[in-house]
Amino acid sequence: MLYTWFKIFNRIDFNALGLVSKTYTLNLQGIGQKDVLVTKGITYGITYDGVFISVGLNDLNPFSIDDRAIYVDNNNDVYLGIAVET
């Protein structure tokens, strides 16, 4: 499955905020304005369109489920993947 990846946040920057969760309002290219809820727990998660996906779930990076994916790179940038074709 091919995904379009959008950088949502950086883990180090998010940690510095001292918050448990934060809503990022972003204008995603080709999709439009969306609210993305970032939540910090044992790991980091993103809630997008009502679906929560977690970084590194099942030790998979990127982790994907259905038409969503999440990936963290070596710079601690966290990306949301949205499927473009099935």
Tell me which residues touch another protein (CB under 8 A).
2-8, 25-31, 33, 62, 71, 73-75, 77, 79, 81-82, 84
Smallest gap from residue 64 Cβ to another protein (A): 12
Residue 5 or 57 having the CB closest to another protein: 5
Residue 74 or 86 having the CB closest to another protein: 74
Smallest gap from residue 42 Cβ to another protein (A): 22
Q: List, in sequence order, every beta strand (DSSP E) within the chain.
A: 2-10, 21-28, 32-40, 44-48, 51-54, 63-65, 68-72, 77-85
C-alpha 22, offset from chain centre: 12
Smallest gap from residue 50 Cβ to another protein (A): 19
For strand 63-65 and strand 44-48, is the pairing parallel, antiparallel, or unpaired? unpaired
